[in-house]
Copies of this chain bind each other. A is one copy, B any other.
Amino acid sequence: MTQTEQVLAAIEAGMAESTARWMEFLRVPSVSANPAHLEDCRAAARWACGQLEAAGFAAALRETRGLPCVVARNQAPEGAPRLLYYGHYDVQPADPLDLWRSPPFEPVLVDGPRGPRMVARGAVDDKGQVMLWLEAFRAWHQTVGHIPANITVVLEGEEEVGSPSLEPFLTANMAEFAADAAVISDTNMWDIDTPALATRLRGVIYIQIDLKGPSRDLHSGLFGGSALNPINALTAILGRLHDSEGRVTIPGFYDGIIPPSAEELAQWRAIGFDEAAFLGDIGLAHPAGEAGYSALERLWARPTADLNGIWGGYQGPGSKTVIASEAHAKLTCRLVPGQEPGRILASIKAWVGAQLRTIPGGADATVTFSGEGGGPGTEISMANRLFAPARAALRDEYGREPLLIGMGGSIPVVEMFKRVLGLDSLMLGFGLDDDQIHSPNEKFELRCFRHGMRSHARFLGALSAGW
């Protein structure tokens, strides 16, 4: 029996305990977007610290400008590869709460069409994925006595609010994070039987737009026809965000985009992605994106502009004949490699102002922007040193070759690790498209959890062989 086989046997024997630990982690409502959950976030960090210590790591909570990072290090054999493992202990807000079938922070294992699944906020994003390597570390440590890699762990608590403190923290402590490469588990498999490695990630920028008009709420009869209506104005502006072909109208939005290579496009075509089924799962039948591109291009290689929230005026029962004094919206754009986040944020601001000036009375409105942030899209080189052992581990675990894919979601830390620490990242993820991350009833299949732990354990074993 090889060391890896011993570790895999230990993982099988310890499934119940691993699941119980995972549920402990999920019970902590570590919602970083809501200041009321600050203490819960710190509790989640302390819990993860304890887990790393149990896996043989020296671990500590390290203060940042915001929520603390968990930083941990192990002792490995001389010459072993140096890896930086990244994850996050914070989760998205759980609302709308009334759409959850069970309370979001009371994890439950329920039967699904593919066996048991864990339902809870953070079940997969990112607590479930973090558990995969925490448990693999623990199994290597307890079975073999060491982990065959020099590992530094950094677990942050602000990923869901754009990681505002991570970069200053990394920059201030760069020497601690020197490594050969980074490992990140925050992505999806192709499907439950087919692992995937991501070679392309979209970036994201976000901005809140606040438009103020009259100094107070007004009666729409006494003032309608003379006074600027901020909700009318905001919808007039944001209603122009796309043209009739689904293209974003912000000037310069598409400048500099690096299209996918012919090889990537050929791979994506070969995948045989079924957009009808993809949309059917969420009750839709017609693609809503940009005309002239395939589904996978629209999801992986084209930028988007999505309003994530809008509000103003009266939202209660019945009618209220008011002209509200303010209106608000939250906008995010998914970016692809070649687009510059700062330039696009500046373009959005200029564009909103220019649209406002075309609206009768718009000159009186004041627009303010807040919560700006984000990062660019990223390409991950297939020449990355971790690719070969990762492909081998996944091939051995699943009995098939992993697909090389793009990712529609954004993992800004990938770009940050490259820029700040000079590290390439390996995306070793085990989520599924229907996991409902950021939505009510987020779940993670127990089957993905099991194969995910085993894949991480195999990857560590493959590293010791192939480095």
Binding site for B on A (CB under 8 A): 32-35, 92-93, 95-96, 99, 160-162, 188, 202, 204, 206, 208, 213-229, 231-232, 234-242, 244-246, 275, 278-279, 282-291, 295, 298-299, 302, 304-324, 327-330, 332, 334, 358-364, 371, 373, 407-410, 433, 436-441
Contacts and interface: CB of A to CB of B under 8 A. Distances in A.
Contacts of A361: 284, 286-289
A231 B282 contact: no
A278 B314 CA distance: 24
Nearest to A290: B225
Given A221-B408, A284-B364, A287-B360, A306 B229 contact: yes
Contacts of A332: 220, 319, 321
A239 B240 contact: yes
Contact of A214 (B160, B202, B282): B282
A168 B347 CA distance: 56
Contacts of A290: 225, 360
- The quantity of this chain's copies bound in the complex is 2
B231 A241 contact: no
A228 B284 contact: yes
Interface centre among A204, A218, A309, A332 (most CB of B within 10 A): A309
A220 B316 CA distance: 27
B330 A320 contact: yes
Contact of A226 (B160, B226, B288, B359): B288
Contacts of A286: 228, 360-364
Given A226-B298, A288-B229, A314 B221 contact: no
Contacts of A298: 225-226
Contact of A202 (B221, B228, B310, B360): B221
Contacts of A236: 239, 241-242
A426 to B, nearest CB: 19
A33 B320 contact: yes
A162 B227 contact: no
